[in-house]
């Protein structure tokens, strides 16, 4: 009986882990439009993304933008070196490198690639 219960709990834990998605939350549409125009974009990361991961991966894009992360609020701030489409698209690559799968924007969840194509360009 204990083995059956343990097996059931193990299966439930594994399936919950498979269904979980790593996400970030973008600013509201109007705030995001201002951020995009100014070249300073913020995202609130989920607690499952480690600050070290964001900072370390951000170093790979030092030519495109600077990365700052507030560990108390889990907000990452990305300041474009030059506010170009290419530099903003590199931000999408950073999100993917950090394991982010979904961006929550205006109450809707979308894959990172879709957010990049629709909002970062």
Average pLDDT per consecutive 10 residues, the chain (121 residues; last block may be shorter): 55 47 87 95 92 94 96 95 94 95 93 93 88
Residue 99 forms part of a structural domain: yes
Q: What is the pLDDT of residue 19?
A: 44
* Residue 116: inside a domain: yes
Q: Would residue 13 count as lying in a domain?
A: no
According to the model, what pLDDT value does residue 9 have?
A: 52
- Cα 118 to Cα 52, 58, 71, 95, 121: the distances in Å are 28, 22, 28, 15, 6
Residue 25 lies in a domain: yes
Q: Residue 18: what pLDDT?
A: 41
In a domain, residue 10? The reply is: no
Residue 80 and residue 77: Cα distance in Å, rounded?
10
pLDDT of 22: 80
Q: Give the pLDDT confidence score for residue 35 in this predicted structure.
A: 95
- The reported pLDDT for the residue numbered 69 is 94
Q: Is residue 12 part of a domain?
A: no
The pTM of this model reads 0.79
If one counts the domains in the chain, the total is 1
Q: Is residue 11 part of a domain?
A: no
The whole domain housing 33 covers 21-120
Is 57:90 a contact under the CB 8 Å cutoff?
Answer: no
pLDDT of 92: 94
**Residue 48 lies inside a defined structural domain of this protein:** yes
């Amino acid at each position: 009986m204990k083995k059956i219960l343990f097996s059931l709990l193990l299966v439930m834990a594994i399936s919950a882990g498979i269904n979980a998605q790593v996400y970030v939350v973008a600013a509201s549409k109007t705030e995001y439009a201002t951020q995009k125009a100014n070249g300073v974009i913020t995202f609130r990361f989920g607690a499952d993304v480690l600050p070290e991961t964001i900072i370390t991966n951000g170093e790979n894009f030092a030519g495109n933008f600077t990365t700052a992360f507030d560990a108390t609020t889990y907000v990452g701030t990305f300041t474009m070196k030059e506010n170009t489409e290419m530099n903003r698209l590199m931000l999408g690559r950073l999100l993917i490198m950090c394991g982010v799968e979904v961006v929550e924007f205006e109450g809707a969840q979308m894959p990172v690639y879709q957010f990049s194509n629709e909002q970062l360009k």
